[in-house]
Amino acid sequence: MKLTLEVWRQKDANSAGKMQRYEAAGISPDMSFLEMLDLVNSRLIEAGQEPIAFDHDCREGICGSCGLVINGVAHGTRKATTTCQLHMREFKDGDTIYIEPFRAKAFPVLKDLVVDRSGFDRIQQAGGYVSINTGSAPDANAVPIGKEEADIAFTAAACIGCGACVAQCKNASAMLFVSAKLSHYAHLPQGQPERMRRTRDMVDAMDAEGFGNCTNQYECEAVCPKEIPARFIAEMNRDYVKAAITEA
Amino acid sequence: MTLDSKIPSGPIAQKWEKHRFEMKLVNPANKRKFKVIVVGSGLAGGSAASTLAELGYDVDCFCFQDSPRRAHSIAAQGGINAAKNYQNDGDSVHRLFYDTVKGGDFRSREANVYRLAEVSRNIIDQCVAQGVPFAREYGGTLANRSFGGAQVSRTFYAKGQTGQQLLLGCYAGLNRQIAAGKVRMHPRTEMLDLVVVDGLARGIIVRDLVSGRIERYAAHAVVLATGGYSPVFFLSTNAKGCNVTATFRAYKRGAYFANPCYTQIHPTCIPQSGEYQSKLTLMSESLRNDGRVWVPKAAADKRAPGQIPESERDYFLERKYPSFGNLAPRDIASRSAKEACDEGRGVGEFGRGVYLDFKDAIDRLGRDAIAERYGNLFDMYERITDENPYQTPMRIYPAPHYTMGGLWVDYNLMSTIPGLHVIGEANFSDHGANRLGASALMQGLADGYFVLPYTIGHYFATHAPGPVSTDHPEFVRVEAEVSERVKALLSIGGKRSPDSFHMELGRIMWEECGMARNKQGLERALQKIPALREEFYKNLAVPGSGSELNATLENAGRVADYFDFAELMCIDALHREESCGGHFREEHQTKDGEALRNDDDFAYVAAWQFEGEGKRPRLNKEDLTFENVALAVRSYK
């Protein structure tokens, strides 16, 4: 296949960026999207030009490193798919593909398509844990957890922290991410003692990072590669109201 | 130097208990005066950093990823072993110990393995308490499944993303310590060298991957938890960033590298589909619980799998290993698949693949039950291959996955450089020549949660390392060397990308030092590698500068270290005149093609010592003794 790429290039956090055009010939439909970029980059390197910077690591859809806005959609249009798991057979010969970073005020661009998502780490540092020191755990089967509840906790915990939800939301809201983190613990007995405080602190941290609020468009749910349901946002809001009373 | 493994005396079941009592303690009020550097934030590094901080130590933790949550432990799919015996099927600490020593083909250290089996039970307790959402039965108890190399169900799992769930638990604990100010986290920071002062590991030199600044960090002890080196083959199941740089740099500073030739080729990966491919994707070994592995009986049978009748299929693992069947250990399953393909019976476009067929399981259990167990893996397979495994059998082929070799450590997980501790996949000690499935997660967390936090205290109490400043001349000297290396890579001005060299190196390693090795091939590799390296230093292209985010530069540095490391791997593979576990020397096999170990001459750990650039490394041996599991020919028949 022969494609035209329109790619966001930006030298660093302090420089202005712009879209730049590249021709990508000799693309196999079996390539992953990132392998297509690898090929473009190796040609750039061999021509002595700076390759396009993008984050990636595991390339099997679990580390959450990669994330590009492809033709206006975070991770591209294939459902439940990270950028690294998107294959070129989704495109047609002759297509023009627009590639941009995950844009949000709280995700400043570091270079080209690489953004700073450390805000996600700081939100979790604000309370995304069960306070238990190594060595003080009871036997693992001491507390039974019904399969249904355990499965809900797992559904929430499947979040890979990629930030597609933020990139797609017109408000750059991180509520799907934060609510997934909260619901993971809220559906487990281990998460109960700190539940209200955790909700309050993580929501406050989310606001402090500059993420927006949810206005119920569910774009986040639509692009989430792990199909985290937006109903967790409702759970978070309910707990936040409770926390406002009990943790005041 | 004689290698002292410091294995405690006494019966195996009491060694760790006894050792814990005999180790010196650090007064709680003094712990905060000891600074520890932890490099790597996967299961081993993350658990060590958070546990050390809980104990009161002052911790700096480094990772090259943008967040510690992205360390490659995250990609582990199948599960984590523990000798809980919740299934009442006869499991015990001793059985897990026995299976692991046997599975490792009698090339691991008994005492370490026993300890691993002992603490495995605490790991599951710890993870559940952190909120790790393991699979459960309707009654609320934890579910288990069986895994290769075992006849009991001792594997705990969280669908096909056990690694991510365990790592998120570990990362949550780490976050709690970061918030408490006890761990300073340094993401997007890569270790480029180790600093040894007066014979003790005292710090590291790193590059900030965003600003490009080269920086010095000093501490009272350094812990490497930097994973394995499978990408030496270029194509592997590892993440693109996985690299040998930290452990290889430590080797060049005096830490011995043990058994580098022990590499695990995982049997169930998606076959390569083209030249451009950047990685191979693993399909969890757990699939072999329900999938049956087969190839056509006849060579060059190009019919679609559905068109081949039962009588013309060869379920070769069931045929050759009737008692373990499809659950034969990884090294054996991989070699059998290779054999079938070498005989011309491989399937798929390039003939390098075997079928993993779920039809019988779907008929027996229903599609829903299979979707519940493996749904996400089936989805991933379909996304990559555009084939639906519910309807047509998966095609799988072995791929480089895990590396059993690593820096040599004693029973306290300390390397030959005092103060330098090595944990998780980065060390060598627990898996011998072949790792059993679901044992990597177990080892990473065992080392980080339950072993290192005790043994590092003993180091502080006995060595009493004093203060050291990053202004010490040794820090200045090593930093200058690092800067020089970075500058050299930037100034070659050639025409080829680091990846193109890496691919070529990987092909050499896969052909000559892969699933099967022989003397001629290894000698050929030892000719080809230096020649290619010479071209690398003449014709490498690294655009951009060192004072910015520069992925090409990062990659070039890692590839440069892989070149030197690949040589060491081949030297080790060439010297080990036997077949054991993942190391299969074609000259040493039985009549029916099974690995032929040589316990008389090779029941030792080969710990290689750096002797200077361009010089042959020196071989040091740690003899292995087997007092509790009798040395025997491994049989899974």
Condensed to tens digits (0 to 9), the pLDDT of residues B529-542 reads: 999 999 999 999 99
By DSSP bridging, strand B257-258 and strand B604-609 are: antiparallel
**Residues in contact with A61: Cβ distance below 8 Å, sequence separation at least 6, in sequence order:** A81, A82, A84, A85, A160, A225, B380
The pLDDT, as a whole number, for residue B1 is 66
- Closest-approach residue (CA) in chain B for A81: B383
The pLDDT, as a whole number, for residue A128 is 98
Q: Among A117, A128, A133, whose Cβ lies nearest the Cβ of B54?
A: A133
Query: What would the two tokens of residue A75 be?
Result: 């991770």
Contact A62 B74 (CB under 8 A): yes
Mean pLDDT of chain B: 96
By DSSP bridging, strand B58-62 and strand B35-39 are: parallel
Tell me the three state secondary structure of residue B169.
Answer: helix
Contact A129 B172 (CB under 8 A): yes
Quick check: B245 contacting A, CB < 8 Å? Answer: no
Q: Is the pLDDT of residue B2 over 80?
A: no
Query: What would the two tokens of residue A59 be?
Result: 């390339």
Query: What would the two tokens of residue A238 be?
Result: 């309910």
Which residues of A fall within a CB distance of 8 Å from B549? 12, 53, 110-111, 114
Condensed to tens digits (0 to 9), the pLDDT of residues B514-531 reads: 999 999 999 999 999 999
Ramachandran angles phi, psi of B357, nearest 5°: -110, 125
Contact B165 A188 (CB under 8 A): no
Quick check: B372 contacting A, CB < 8 Å? Answer: no
Tell me the three state secondary structure of residue B211.
Answer: coil
Are the C-beta atoms of A57 and B239 separated by less than 8 Å? yes
Are the C-beta atoms of B619 and B571 separated by less than 8 Å? no
Average pLDDT over residues B496-521: 97
Tell me the three state secondary structure of residue B225.
Answer: coil
Task: Say how far residue B358 (Cα) sits from the centre of its chain.
Answer: 29
Quick check: B240 contacting A, CB < 8 Å? Answer: yes
By DSSP bridging, strand B80-81 and strand B155-156 are: antiparallel
Q: Among B70, B133, B384, whose Cβ lies nearest the Cβ of A188?
A: B133
Tell me the three state secondary structure of residue A10.
Answer: strand
**Residues in contact with A13: Cβ distance below 8 Å, sequence separation at least 6, in sequence order:** A108, A109, A110, A111, A116
Helices then strands (H, E): number in chain B? Answer: 18, 19
% pLDDT > 70, chain B: 100
Which residues of A fall within a CB distance of 8 Å from B133? 150, 153-154, 157, 184, 188
Contact B69 A56 (CB under 8 A): no
- Closest-approach residue (CA) in chain B for A87: B384
Which residues of B fall within a CB distance of 8 Å from A186? none
Q: Is the pLDDT of residue B150 over 90?
A: no
Q: How far A52 CA lies from chain B's nearest CA (Å)?
A: 9
Are the C-beta atoms of A59 and A34 separated by less than 8 Å? yes
Condensed to tens digits (0 to 9), the pLDDT of residues B183-204 reads: 999 999 999 999 999 999 999 9
Q: Which of residues 85-104 of B touch A (CB under 8 A)?
A: 86
Q: Among A49, A111, A145, whose Cβ lies nearest the Cβ of B543?
A: A49
Query: What would the two tokens of residue B30 be?
Result: 């003094």
Q: How far B587 CA lies from chain A's nearest CA (Å)?
A: 36
Q: Among A85, A89, A161, whose Cβ lies nearest the Cβ of B69?
A: A161
Condensed to tens digits (0 to 9), the pLDDT of residues B202-247 reads: 999 999 999 999 999 999 999 999 999 999 999 999 999 999 999 9
Quick check: B470 contacting A, CB < 8 Å? Answer: no
Q: Among B124, B131, B210, whose Cβ lies nearest the Cβ of A190?
A: B131
Condensed to tens digits (0 to 9), the pLDDT of residues B272-307 reads: 988 899 999 999 888 999 999 999 999 999 999 999
CA R_g for chain A: 20
**d(Cα B582, Cα B235) in Å, to the nearest integer?**
17
Condensed to tens digits (0 to 9), the pLDDT of residues A116-127 reads: 999 999 999 999
Containing H/E element for B473?
Answer: helix B473-490
Quick check: B252 contacting A, CB < 8 Å? Answer: no
Q: Residue A97's beta-bridge partner residues?
A: A5
Query: What would the two tokens of residue B371 be?
Result: 């979707």
The pLDDT, as a whole number, for residue B53 is 98
By DSSP bridging, strand B35-39 and strand B221-224 are: parallel
Are the C-beta atoms of B293 and B337 separated by less than 8 Å? yes
Which residues of B fall within a CB distance of 8 Å from A147? 136-138, 140
Contact B497 A42 (CB under 8 A): yes
Average pLDDT over residues B76-91: 96
Condensed to tens digits (0 to 9), the pLDDT of residues B137-149 reads: 999 999 999 887 7
**d(Cα B160, Cα A9) in Å, to the nearest integer?**
36
**d(Cα B548, Cα B30) in Å, to the nearest integer?**
40
Contact B551 A141 (CB under 8 A): no
**Residues in contact with A80: Cβ distance below 8 Å, sequence separation at least 6, in sequence order:** A224, A225, A226, A227, B379
What string of DSSP letters covers B486-553? HHHHHT---SB-HHHHHHHHHHHHHHHHSSSB-HHHHHHHHHHHHHHHHHHHHHB---S-SSS--HHH
Cα–Cα nearest to A211, from A119, A125, A124:
A119
Contact B74 A58 (CB under 8 A): yes
Q: Which of residues 599-628 of B touch A (CB under 8 A)?
A: none
Q: Which of residues 46-65 of B touch A (CB under 8 A)?
A: 47, 50-51, 54, 65
The 8-class DSSP code of residue B327 comes to G
**d(Cα B431, Cα B410) in Å, to the nearest integer?**
14
Q: Among B133, B158, B497, whose Cβ lies nearest the Cβ of A46?
A: B497
Cα–Cα nearest to B58, from B218, B205, B184, B200:
B184
Which residues of A fall within a CB distance of 8 Å from B50? 134
What string of DSSP letters covers B367-429? HHHHHHHHHHHHHHHHHHHS--TTTS-EEEEEEEEEE--EE---TTSB-SSTTEEE-GGGB-S
Q: How far A147 CA lies from chain B's nearest CA (Å)?
A: 5
Cα–Cα nearest to B150, from B102, B116, B84, B78:
B102
Query: Which ranges of chain A have pLDDT less than 70?
Result: 248
Contact A28 B276 (CB under 8 A): yes
B11 pLDDT tier (thresholds 50, 70, 90): very high
- Closest-approach residue (CA) in chain B for A113: B549
The pLDDT, as a whole number, for residue B255 is 98
